[in-house]
């Protein structure tokens, strides 16, 4: 596992690496039953080298903790910070898919949480996060093994709009039952 972490950290397959301080690979919870997949590191994550440690990440982590969900392996669809926090392109998502699927293959989780539209696109190849959030979808890994995907709104979006915050918290509560 560690050589793969090192390989991921050395990846420069797409142009995101040129602007990022480092490749942000979670190096901790490899025996988790849940994998949480966000969009990409933000500026705080880029600096610290840990996923979901900025303001919206802390909100997500607190929500998981308050429902006693975890331990979870937390990662992103793209492992490098996109300049100006822009949305990763289709090409960048495709380039980084190898690392996402490697993590899924290592962990073989019961459920993968797609946090926001980019993660939904990366995991299931489809858009429509507002319509699909809270539903259980199926996708498959590179070996053709099926896995369950549970899409939720991104915590950054939830922090912007009260109605989205309610949906976000409702979905996190439901995740505890899956």
Question: Which of 35/158 has CB closer to ligand SF4?
Answer: 35
Question: Which of 12/136 has CB closer to ligand SF4?
Answer: 12
Minimum CB–partner distance for residue 53 and ligand SF4 (Å):
18
Minimum CB–partner distance for residue 6 and ligand SF4 (Å):
12
115: which 2 tokens?
């946090």
Question: Which of 16/114 has CB closer to ligand SF4?
Answer: 16
Question: Which of 16/63 has CB closer to ligand SF4?
Answer: 16
Burial of 135 (0-12, 13-18, 19+ CB in 10 A): exposed
- Taking the alpha carbons at both ends of the chain, their separation in whole angstroms is 27
Q: Which residues bind ligand SF4 (CB under 6 A)?
A: 8, 11-14, 16-17, 23, 78-80, 92, 95-96, 99
Helix-, strand-, coil-residue percentages of the chain, each rounded to 5: 45, 15, 40
> Is there a cis peptide before residue 71, judged by omega within 30 degrees of 0?
yes
Minimum CB–partner distance for residue 61 and ligand SF4 (Å):
22
DSSP for residue 55: H
Minimum CB–partner distance for residue 177 and ligand SF4 (Å):
33
């Amino acid at each position: 596992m560690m050589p793969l972490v090192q390989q991921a950290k050395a990846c420069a397959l797409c142009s995101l690496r040129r602007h990022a301080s480092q490749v942000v690979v979670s190096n901790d919870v490899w025996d988790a039953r849940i994998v949480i997949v966000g969009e990409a590191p933000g500026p705080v994550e880029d600096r610290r080298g840990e996923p979901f440690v900025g303001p919206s990440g802390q909100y997500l982590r607190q929500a998981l903790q308050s429902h006693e969900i975890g331990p979870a392996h937390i990662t992103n669809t793209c492992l490098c910070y996109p300049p100006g926090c822009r949305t990763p392109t289709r090409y960048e998502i495709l380039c980084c898919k190898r690392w996402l699927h490697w993590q899924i293959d290592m962990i073989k989780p019961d459920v993968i949480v797609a946090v926001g539209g980019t993660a939904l696109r990366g995991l299931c190849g489809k858009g429509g996060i507002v319509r699909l959030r809270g539903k259980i979808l199926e996708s498959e890994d590179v070996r053709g093994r099926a896995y369950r995907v549970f899409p939720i709104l991104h915590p950054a979006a939830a922090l912007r709009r009260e109605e989205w915050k309610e949906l976000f918290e409702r979905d996190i509560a439901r995740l505890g039952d899956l």
